[in-house]
Structure 1
Amino acid sequence: MKRVVIIGAGLGGLSAAIYLSRDGYDVTVIEKRNQPGGKLHKQTVGDASFDFGPNTITMPDVFQDVLTYGGDDEPLPFIKLQDHTMNYFKNGAPLLFSSDERTMKEQLSQSDYTAFKQYKKTVARIFHMSKTNFFTRSFTSWRDYLNPRLATALTAVKPFTTMHAFHRSLFKDERLIQALDRYATYVGSSPYQVPATFTMIAHLEFNDGVYYVQGGNTKIAKRLESCAKNNGVSFHYGEEATSLRTHEKKITEVITQADQSYACDHVILNGDLLTQTSTLLKTPPPADRSFTPSSSAFVMMLRNNQPQKNLQHHHQVYFADNYKREFHELFKAKRYVDEPTIYISNSSSTDRTQRRQGDNLYVLVNAPALSDSLIYDSQTYRSLIFQRLQTFGVNVEYDHQMKTFTPMDIAKEFGAYKGAIYGLSSNSLRQAFLRPFNASTTFNNLTFTGGSTHPGGGSPLVVLSGKLAASHTKKMTVH
């Protein structure tokens, strides 16, 4: 029986573990934290529970497919959020994003609604083209890109137009343009730079739907872990892989900080590739030379004891007046934004198991990736965010119990390169489509999974990357 060691129990590692163990591999998962899921883990503040991330779930079938493959046919308790996101603007009426056609029609002009219906068809085509030609395909060397069909597919998914330019060409309503542009932040990027390919996210939200898991999205990670264990996977928490023993371009053992050794025939690395390249693989990091990190985040988790009408949706967004300036600050000036767009998830509005009375508010503001010149003060920035919310009529009455996560915290907690919460940005054609390979060019038996490799960031894509890693591992091992 071939032995596979998976470093990291994030969604990619869990996915790979299930696919491999189900097919008879001896799988061991090493995780430095004390729970599975990576960023998808539970936090608590007093009587309130929070998902650290992600708060928005799409493509539920991807998660269910892994469980089904692993022999778990019980459906995950997904709740579809019809009226999922309320968008607020300083100038203009709020705009509710809904999967209900009538709701959208009532809020838009006739011309914009007509354009919106066509837009949904266009982004559906982009998604299905991407899914068929990119999401299900491993890229382990440059040869994998030399495919005429792939080139044809690439030109069909609008790679040479930015997301903002595409939206601007279709709509007149500034609210709609700005709210749709925000989809770039789902991959830690700027709508003024990211290819319009990523408008496929709109297909997922408007055509397929936005979901939440009853009891918290972290149930996804727990179910995947349970499924893996039922297939014989062994988990070792609180153990950090710190070095590798190698022989003739092959990894033979993975060594932890406690000097525990795990022999292996193949290794799957589920972690931030830009960090692990230098710390674990001991090879020169490509990041500063070649890759630009995504945005990071400034996150607050708090309890609000005075319910307000502007906080009653599962998701709400309070937009910056000057969206273009916000992304210039994040990616060009590399500094905190003084008038940021603020996202708030209030999952207790959907699920009272998260807090029985009052609100559990997950507040996120996009922040720049860490740099030598980045200066910030957490307390000052918290105050700025609360003051900005007050300009929207939101007066959060929170108690002294609060958790704050800065880009530095994210870097330390998750090994995220420069605190980049989404791995690499997609602010260029190269980074959007030519991401680091799924397999190592240094070691013959090392495969990668996670948001910093193909097919990219976002929970469903990370789960798919785990499936791709498992498939490549099977090809590389004689079973």
Structure 2
Amino acid sequence: MKRVVIIGAGLGGLSAAIYLSRDGYDVTVLEKRNQPGGKLHKQTVGDASFDFGPNTITMPDVFQDVLTYGGDDEPLPFIKLQDHTMNYFKNDAPLLFSSDERTMEEQLSQSDYSAFQQYKKTVARIFHMSKTHFFTRSFTSWRDYLNPRLATALTAVKPFTTMHAFHRSLFKDERLIQALDRYGTYVGSSPYQVPATFTMIAHLEFNDGVYYVQGGNTKIAKRLESCAKNNGVSFHYGEEATSLRTHEKKITEVITQADQSYTCDHVILNGDLLTQTSTLLKTPPPAERSFTPSSSAFVMMLRNNQPQKNLQHHHQVYFADNYKREFHELFKAKRYVDEPTIYISNSSSTDRTQRRHGDNLYVLVNAPALSDSLIYDSETYRSLIFKRLQTFGVNIEYDQQMNTFTPMDIAREFGAYKGAIYGLSSNTLRQAFLRPFNASTTFNNLTFTGGSTHPGGGSPLVVLSGKLAASHTKKMTVH
């Protein structure tokens, strides 16, 4: 029986573990944290629970497909959030995004609604083209890109138009343009630089739907873990892999911090490639000029003791007056924004298991990736965020107990390159479409999964990358 060691129990590692164990592989998962899911893990503040990872879920079938393959046919308890995003603007009326057609028609002018109908068809085509030609295939060398059909598909997904330019060419309502531009941040990038290809995210939210798992989205990770265990996968929590022993072009053993050794025929690395490969192989880190990291985040998880009716489960977004300046600050000036766009989610309004009384508020502000010149003070920035929310009429009466994550915390907790949430940004064509390969070009038994490799960041794509890693592993271990 072939032995596979998976380093990291994030969603990609869990997915790969299920696909391999179901097909008869001996799979061991090493995880330095004490729970599965990676960034999708549970946080608590007193009597309030939070999903650190995504507050809402798209592409629910991706998660269900993995479970079904692993022999678990029980449906995940998804709840559809029809009205999914309330967009607020300092000097204009709010704009509600919904997957309900009648609601969107009421929100938009006749001309913009007509353009929006065509937009939904366009982004659906972009998504299905991407799913067919990019999401379901591994890229393990440059030769995999030399495919005429792939080149044709690439030109069809609007790679040479920026997201902002595409939206501006279609719509007149500045609120609508700004709110749709926010989809660039779903991949940690700027809408003024990221290719319009990523408008496929709009298809997922408007056509396919926005979902939440009753009891918390972290139940996805727990169900995947349980499914993997039922197929014989061995999990070792609190065991951090620290080095790899190699012979010629193969990895022979994985060594942990406790000096435990795990022999293997194949290794899958479920972690940030820009930090973990150099750490494990004791090689120099990549040159900084070679990569542009995605944005990071400043996150607060807190209890609001005086619930407000306008703070619902779905996305609440309080936009900066000058959105373009915000992304200049994040990616060019590399500093904290003094007038940031603020995101709030309150899952307890849908699911009282997350907090029985009061609100559990997840507050997120885009932050720059770490750099030598980055200076900030957490307490000062928290105060700035609360004061800015007050200008929108949002007065949060929170107790002093809260969990705060900064880019430094994200870098330390998850080994994230410069604290970037999505690994590389997609602000250039190269980084958008030529993600790091799914397999090592140095060792022929090392495969990668996670948000920093193909097909990219976001929970569903990370799960798909686990499937691709398992498929490549099977192919390599047959020979």
Q: Given the superposition, is the C-alpha separation of residues 287 and 85 from structure 1 closer, same or farther in structure 2, using an over 3 Å criterion?
A: farther
Q: CA deviation at 1:467?
A: 0.1
Q: Distance in 1 between matches of 2:302 and 2:220?
A: 23
Per-residue CA deviation, residues 397-417 of structure 1 (Å, 9 max, x unaligned), is: 000111110000010000001
The alignment's TM-score, normalised by the length of structure 1, stands at 0.99
Q: Distance in 2 between matches of 1:112 and 1:334?
A: 35
Q: CA deviation at 1:286?
A: 2.8
Q: Distance in 2 between matches of 1:154 and 1:381?
A: 41
Q: Distance in 2 between matches of 1:140 and 1:285?
A: 21
Per-residue CA deviation, residues 196-231 of structure 1 (Å, 9 max, x unaligned), is: 000000000000000000000000000000000000
Aligned to 2:405: 405
8 Å contact from structure 2 (residues 162, 192) kept in 1: yes
Q: CA deviation at 1:287?
A: 5.2
Q: CA deviation at 1:85?
A: 1.1
Q: Given the superposition, is the C-alpha separation of residues 396 and 229 from structure 1 closer, same or farther in structure 2, using an over 3 Å criterion?
A: same
8 Å contact from structure 2 (residues 188, 294) kept in 1: yes
Q: CA deviation at 1:291?
A: 1.4
Q: Given the superposition, is the C-alpha separation of residues 365 and 475 from structure 1 closer, same or farther in structure 2, using an over 3 Å criterion?
A: same
Which has the higher mean CA deviation after the structures are superposed, 301-310 or 279-288? 279-288
8 Å contact from structure 1 (residues 297, 366) kept in 2: yes
Q: Distance in 2 between matches of 1:284 and 1:154?
A: 33
Aligned to 1:280: 280
Q: Distance in 2 between matches of 1:152 and 1:291?
A: 27
Q: Distance in 2 between matches of 1:477 and 1:401?
A: 50
Q: CA deviation at 1:281?
A: 2.3
Q: Distance in 1 between matches of 2:405 and 2:128?
A: 36
Q: Distance in 2 between matches of 1:60 and 1:220?
A: 10
Q: CA deviation at 1:312?
A: 2.8
Q: Distance in 2 between matches of 1:422 and 1:57?
A: 16
Aligned to 1:148: 148
Per-residue CA deviation, residues 404-455 of structure 1 (Å, 9 max, x unaligned), is: 1000001000000100011110001000000110000111100000000000
Q: Distance in 1 between matches of 2:435 and 2:285?
A: 14
Which has the higher mean CA deviation after the structures are superposed, 9-18 or 270-279? 270-279
- Runs of 4+ residues deviating >2 angstroms: 281-287
Q: CA deviation at 1:289?
A: 3.6
Matched residue SS, 1:309: coil
Per-residue CA deviation, residues 256-284 of structure 1 (Å, 9 max, x unaligned), is: 00000000000000000101122112233
8 Å contact from structure 1 (residues 274, 287) kept in 2: no
Q: Given the superposition, is the C-alpha separation of residues 393 and 287 from structure 1 closer, same or farther in structure 2, using an over 3 Å criterion?
A: farther
8 Å contact from structure 2 (residues 312, 347) kept in 1: no
Q: Distance in 1 between matches of 2:382 and 2:3?
A: 48
Q: CA deviation at 1:187?
A: 0.3
Q: CA deviation at 1:55?
A: 1.1
8 Å contact from structure 2 (residues 249, 444) kept in 1: yes
Aligned to 1:126: 126
8 Å contact from structure 2 (residues 10, 270) kept in 1: yes
Matched residue SS, 2:43: strand
Give the % identical residues.
96
Q: Distance in 1 between matches of 2:292 and 2:261?
A: 34
8 Å contact from structure 2 (residues 11, 221) kept in 1: yes
Per-residue CA deviation, residues 370-422 of structure 1 (Å, 9 max, x unaligned), is: 00000000000000000000000000000011111000001000000100011
8 Å contact from structure 2 (residues 47, 355) kept in 1: yes
* TM alignment of 1:154-173, pairs within 5 A: 154-173=154-173
Q: Distance in 1 between matches of 2:91 and 2:422?
A: 30
Q: Distance in 2 between matches of 1:155 and 1:282?
A: 39
* Corresponding residue pairs, total: 479
Q: CA deviation at 1:29?
A: 0.2
Q: Given the superposition, is the C-alpha separation of residues 313 and 244 from structure 1 closer, same or farther in structure 2, using an over 3 Å criterion?
A: closer
Q: Distance in 2 between matches of 1:213 and 1:266?
A: 33
Which has the higher mean CA deviation after the structures are superposed, 216-225 or 48-57? 48-57
Q: Distance in 2 between matches of 1:225 and 1:277?
A: 24
Aligned to 1:13: 13
8 Å contact from structure 1 (residues 254, 264) kept in 2: yes
8 Å contact from structure 1 (residues 86, 313) kept in 2: no
Q: Distance in 1 between matches of 2:264 and 2:421?
A: 30
Q: CA deviation at 1:311?
A: 1.0
Q: CA deviation at 1:305?
A: 1.1
8 Å contact from structure 1 (residues 314, 349) kept in 2: no
8 Å contact from structure 2 (residues 36, 221) kept in 1: yes
Structural RMSD (CA): 0.8
Matched residue SS, 2:93: coil
8 Å contact from structure 2 (residues 312, 345) kept in 1: no
Matched residue SS, 1:224: helix
Q: Distance in 2 between matches of 1:211 and 1:245?
A: 43
Q: CA deviation at 1:307?
A: 1.6
Q: Distance in 2 between matches of 1:240 and 1:313?
A: 35
Aligned to 1:350: 350
Matched residue SS, 1:93: strand
Q: CA deviation at 1:294?
A: 0.3
Q: CA deviation at 1:313?
A: 4.3
Q: Given the superposition, is the C-alpha separation of residues 287 and 63 from structure 1 closer, same or farther in structure 2, using an over 3 Å criterion?
A: farther
Q: CA deviation at 1:290?
A: 1.7
8 Å contact from structure 1 (residues 298, 406) kept in 2: yes
The alignment's TM-score, normalised by the length of structure 2, stands at 0.99
8 Å contact from structure 1 (residues 89, 320) kept in 2: yes
Q: Distance in 2 between matches of 1:39 and 1:235?
A: 18
Ranges in structure 1 where 5+ consecutive residues have no aligned partner: none
Q: Given the superposition, is the C-alpha separation of residues 287 and 230 from structure 1 closer, same or farther in structure 2, using an over 3 Å criterion?
A: farther
